[in-house]
Amino acid sequence: TIELSVNIEDTARELIRLVEKVSKFQEQWQQSSILKQMIIRYYRFMQLKASHPINLLLVPTLDIEIVWQTHLLRPEIYQGDCIRLFRRIIGHNLLANDIEDFL
């Protein structure tokens, strides 16, 4: 067996739940004006995360989570953007069940 550092089964379930939630808004979120607002909200959320201690749990809204997940699809670009915009890499936990990591 191959051992990974992440619980693939739990993470996949959480990702599937996210995709199911997102599918309800797919048509709306494809509009350019709404996408621009989502990106602005994401940027403001990331500023908030960057200005608070790493162990403070801040939960993004669904639209912010979608932009964040999209940004994370390009890890090198994500890391560079984080350093440039927020002066540090902002970590992301998909699972809200990992709350003990924040305590």
For residue 18, tell me if it sits in a domain: no
Domain interval for residue 52: 31-102
Higher pLDDT, 24 or 52: 52
For residue 36, tell me if it sits in a domain: yes
For residue 89, tell me if it sits in a domain: yes
For residue 1, tell me if it sits in a domain: no
Number of structural domains in the chain: 1
User: Mean pLDDT across the stretch 37-43?
Assistant: 96
Q: Is the pLDDT of residue 98 over 70?
A: no
The verdict on pTM exceeding 0.85 is no
Q: Which residues contact 48 (CB under 8 A, 6 or more apart)?
A: 58
Q: Is the pLDDT of residue 94 over 70?
A: no
Give 28-33 contacts, CB < 8 A, sequence gap 24+: 29/63, 29/66
56 with 99: CB under 8 angstroms? no
User: Mean pLDDT across the stretch 65-80?
Assistant: 94
Q: What does the pLDDT read at residue 95?
A: 58
Higher pLDDT, 101 or 7: 7
